[in-house]
């Protein structure tokens, strides 16, 4: 598990230094010693994509306190399958793995019936917001999380990639390995569901509400 004195990224990088040359990496079928190309590719992937993986897991419903461990699961899966991942498709594989890990996490959370905790996952900002500002921000984040938690994973994935990560339809289609038309359809459904649960009125083409 991650040493909480370290960031998740730092801990995973340290762990990879210790295990990539051996057989651990959380699994008996991990890469063996001597595969320097695999070792360097994985290390570069962790360095470049850790933030994307962590953020994706959070937006897919993984709690703040579980996100570092979930990110480790994602990269351990990648470490076992790295030789079969086509160069250039790593980001798509990572997000698909995030979807599976997040879905497993949500099922486990449902089974445990844990009482939702108030998460303090927002970093302090330089201008020292007031207590009221922080409370409003926390309420807004909790409201967003509740809405997203009510969506199916298919709709949620498209919604967070488009609305929060600001990806294009084409990029989402590539990452999820689905047709662009399916992306558009899921996004329409996700937006309608979001508006209904957020009690928002759809915006007309003229800029007003309908």
List the one residue out of 111, 115, 113, 10 whose CA is nearest residue 54: 10
Residue 178's CB: how many other CB atoms inside 10 A? 16
List the one residue out of 147, 156, 165, 148 whose CA is nearest residue 186: 156
Question: According to the model, what pLDDT value does residue 38 have?
Answer: 75
Mean pLDDT of 191-207: 68
**Tokens describing residue 65:** 């306190």
Question: According to the model, what pLDDT value does residue 83 have?
Answer: 87
Higher pLDDT, 204 or 108: 108
- Which domains does the chain show, CATH number per domain? 1-113 (1.10.1740), 129-200 (1.10.10.10)
List the one residue out of 183, 185, 140, 144 whose CA is nearest residue 162: 183
List the one residue out of 25, 22, 1 whose CA is nearest residue 76: 25
Cα dihedral 194, 125, 94, 169, rounded to 10, equals 40
Are 17 and 25 a contacting pair, CB within 8 Å? no
49-70 tens-digit pLDDT: 999 999 999 999 898 889 999 9
Higher pLDDT, 113 or 111: 111
Task: Note the pTM of the prediction, 2 decimals.
Answer: 0.63
């Amino acid at each position: 598990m991650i040493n909480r004195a370290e960031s998740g990224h730092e801990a995973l990088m340290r762990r990879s230094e210790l295990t990539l040359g051996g057989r651990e990496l959380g699994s008996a079928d991990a890469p063996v010693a001597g595969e320097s190309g695999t070792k360097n590719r994985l290390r570069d992937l962790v360095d470049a994509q850790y933030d994307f993986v962590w953020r994706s897991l959070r937006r897919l419903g993984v709690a703040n306190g579980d996100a570092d461990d979930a990110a480790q699961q994602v990269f351990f899966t990648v470490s076992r399958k790295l030789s079969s991942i086509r160069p250039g498709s790593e980001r798509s594989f990572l997000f698909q793995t995030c979807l599976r890990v997040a879905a497993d996490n949500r099922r486990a959370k449902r089974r445990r019936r844990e009482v939702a905790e108030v998460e303090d996952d927002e970093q302090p900002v330089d201008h020292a917001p007031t207590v009221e500002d922080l409370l409003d921000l926390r309420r807004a984040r909790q409201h967003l999380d509740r809405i997203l938690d009510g969506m199916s994973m298919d709709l949620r994935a498209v919604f967070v990639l488009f609305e929060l990560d600001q990806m294009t339809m084409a990029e989402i289609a590539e990452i999820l390995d689905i047709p662009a038309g399916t992306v558009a359809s899921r996004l329409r459904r996700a937006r309608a569901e979001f508006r209904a649960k957020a009690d928002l009125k759809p915006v007309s083409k003229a800029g007003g509400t309908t």
